[in-house]
Amino acid sequence: MGLFDKIKKAFTGVEDKPVEKVEKTEEANLGEIDKYEKGLEKSRSSFSRKMNELFANFRYIDEDFFEDLEDILIESDVGFEATMEISDKLRYEAQVNNVKSMKDAERVIVETMVDMYGEVSPDSESIHFNKDGLTIILFVGVNGVGKTTTIAKMAHQFKEEGKKVLLVAGDTFRAGAIEQLKVWGSRVGAEVVSTKQGGDPAAVVFDGIKQAQDQQADVLFIDTAGRLQNKKNLMNELDKMKRVITREIPDAPHEVLLVLDATTGQNALNQAKQFRETTNVTGIVLTKLDGTAKGGIVLAIGKELGIPVKFVGLGETMNDLRPFNTEKFVYGLFSELIRDTL
């Protein structure tokens, strides 16, 4: 069963048999689904409005329809590759299965997009923990994307799960970065290992690993400088930090999480492409999704990069950074359009 059919069952209760009242699956965590629906409200409303206007402006599928559809998808930051795949699928259905009506076109588009999200979100969405001891998570990303706040929120959630966590202030270059992490560490009750501003990041990482091992910590979060790939000295520092980590724990870091600001749309995708060229990024943390209509960027990241989105920011509170869940994300982003196809 495709992802579209699974989501469809959440509305109908039984496959291909719509009922008047939409029901959510009994086993679903309704609180979690509500977070996704609320957090993706801007993206959902914007995309649904554009698609409904498209379907209202055409009576049948022609080349003008395809041009407008592709424009909408590109503007929604779905990405070029995904846009072309959706357009090609509809062209095929129009030719082979005689899809002509706007209702049928809408069904094909929504079904294709929903199932594409399922295809580009691999099983490695969750964090990989080291079963034999300390788990080291390295955070990378440019300044201003919410990297330090993300570290604090994840530390808070892991502590709530009973894990002992330590933080390393590896961004020794940006003024105020060390103090910012210390403030967050105090708020969430996590010790911060640090040095003076301008100090050696690799040295403080070494100290952090030793302290974490001595204290038998479960997880060590390492902050890094906001780095752009044309700043060679900063990239060299990141490589040096990773060498220190691997020397102390050969299979570490266990995760390298790239933090991206969803509100920047295609710029976030470009950042991801640049980091992938120089860093073994294992997952994406997409912040500020609740503040943007650019939720389609998740599909672009999956199609063009093949890097799983592991966490999404759906609000301002400590618990609004949520582990990414494909079905709940799709439900939150496409619920209005899926209803229209029933």
| CATH number of the domain where residue 306 is located | 3.40.50.300
Pair 222, 148: CB distance under 8 Å:
no
Place of tokens 């950074």: 321
What is the distance between the alpha carbons of residues 38 and 168, in angstroms, rounded to a whole number? 33
19 assigned to some structural domain: no
Q: Which residues form the domain of 306?
A: 135-325
How many domains does the structure of the chain reveal?
1
Residue 23 within a domain: no
62 vs 56, 69, 91, 279, CA distance in Å? Answer: 14, 11, 10, 44
Q: Let me know if residue 178 belongs to a domain.
A: yes
The proportion of the chain whose per-residue pLDDT surpasses 70, expressed as a percent, equals 87
Higher-confidence residue: 56 or 118? 56
My answer on whether omega of the bond before 253 falls inside 30° of 0, hence cis, is yes
C-alpha distances (whole Å) from 288 to each of 2, 43, 174, 302 are: 29, 12, 22, 18
Q: How many CA atoms lie within 13 A of 71 on its CB side?
A: 9
pLDDT in tens, 241-250: 999 999 999 9
Residue 59 pLDDT:
86
Q: In this structure, is residue 4 part of a structural domain?
A: no
Residue 7 lies in a domain: no
- Range ranked top by mean pLDDT from 22-31, 88-97, 162-171: 162-171
**Residue 7: its pLDDT value, please?**
66
Give the pTM.
0.86
Residues 6+ away with beta carbon under 8 Å from 233: none
Average pLDDT over every residue of 92-111: 85
Task: Note whether residue 162 is domain-resident.
Answer: yes
pLDDT for 132 beyond 90: no
Q: Which of 173-177, 317-321, 333-337 has the lowest mean pLDDT?
A: 333-337
**Pick from 91, 154, 89: nearest CA to 119:** 89
Pick from 329, 283, 313: which is nearest to 122 by CA?
A: 283
Rounded mean pLDDT of 202-221?
Answer: 97
pLDDT at 2: 67
Is it the case that residue 204 has pLDDT exceeding 90? yes
Rounding to the nearest 10 degrees, give the CA dihedral for residues 232, 237, 241, 246: 40
Give domain status of residue 25, yes or no. no
User: pLDDT: is 73 or 101 the higher one?
Assistant: 73
pLDDT at 20 over 80: no
Domain-embedded: residue 246: yes
Query: Is the Cβ–Cβ distance between 171 and 201 less than 8 Å?
Result: yes
| Dist. CA 306–CA 284, nearest whole Å | 10
- For helices 80-96 and 297-305, angle between their N-to-C axes, nearest 10 degrees: 90
The confidence score (pLDDT) of residue 28 equals 41
